[in-house]
Structure 1
Amino acid sequence: MNREISFYQYLTPEEQDLLDRSMQQVPCRKSQVVHRHGDSCVGLIFVRKGRLAFSILSEEGREITVFRIEKGESCILSAACVLQSLEFESHITAEVNSEIAILPAPTLSQLMNSNPDVERLVYKQAVIQYSGVLRTMQQIIFLSLEKRLATFLLEESQRRQSPSFSATHEQIARYIGSSREVVTRMLNQFAGRGIVSLGRGTVTVLDPEALEDVLM
């Protein structure tokens, strides 16, 4: 299963053996904190099952989810100590019951030092995930709450390939940098306009064109 890691195919047989022996399998319960700022550098996290959320904290202590790591994806920003200056006051939690594999930071550093392809792909992934952080912060700074919510609803339905998806109001608030109470009020406004319908822990997008109009 380690072959799913982006740089595995570029490893020598000896390096593949090192990675296989070093990977640590860790089950995670829903809402379990996998890594938090201030912990020792964990290394690369690969999601075998489930979904993780990478969140940062505002100065007021508000949690903002800036990107998620799905099954078959990995998080490299959890190895900030290896990446020289790419560091955030952040933490990673399991959004659902998950199974992850961790490549410890010392092993990752060893592979990056010995194999230029590993270093290249690790930094490429770090840039992509760092861009996700910047994009979220730009939305919070420059977009109104209504537009941030509309953007989330459109992107989430596209990502799930379904107009209906599971998400609590608390989770949505973390995704768009708001509070649960404000999100609930705005979702109810959207529901009153026939744009969405709300269920227990679910949202269904009924009128994506209306959400597009919000973004105009």
Structure 2
Amino acid sequence: MDLIAKLLNVSYAYPDGTKAVKNVSLELRRGNVICITGPNGSGKSTLLMILAALIFPQEGEVYLFGKKIDKKNASEVRKKIGFLFQNPDDMLFNPSVIEEISFGLIAKGVNREISNNLALEEIKKLKIENLAYKVPHRLSFGQRRLVSLASILVTDPSLLLLDEPTSNLDEKNRELIIERLMEFFGNRKDDWGAAIATHDNELIYICNEFFYMSEGELSRI
């Protein structure tokens, strides 16, 4: 199976009638990293949520890992997906950083001790060892973003979706995220795919396919 994800003529409108995604078709092949740029409010976040099977389009078809996705099978497919929200507070709910990062592994049935050891390894890779036992919600915005990213990468997702991963960060935390993503992608084989919504020109160098989104419409660059 060459495709990780496929969207076919997908459209999505919010309850207030706002059409956020308009007749979008997209293919994400194994080993590829897609970059999606475009102005704020153009539909990038909505498109990523469709790819994550978090919301379902009113029109069109979504395929993930070779399966046509609907509300009945979405929860099973989501286990293979890592999604980084723009706001880290949407993702953090555990009492300590190490518990936050190990939570996804434990939820998958990984032994707690092994999960904690893997979490500590990810913490070291992001150079946030000093935060391991701190309360996530007491950290700075940039630190919370790092913890959120770590909680996703540690699960080794087959489909990684990143919504503005470096936005609103100081230069130090921005560089930490870029360096970690470059390392993460560099160590992967071809059994995965990723899509990044970003305005960050440096992140573009991580990608090998490029798209522009405007008013809900997607075009290849």
TM-score (norm 1): 0.25
Q: Which has the higher contact order (CA 8 A, sep 6+)?
A: 2
Larger radius of gyration: 1
TM-score (norm 2): 0.24
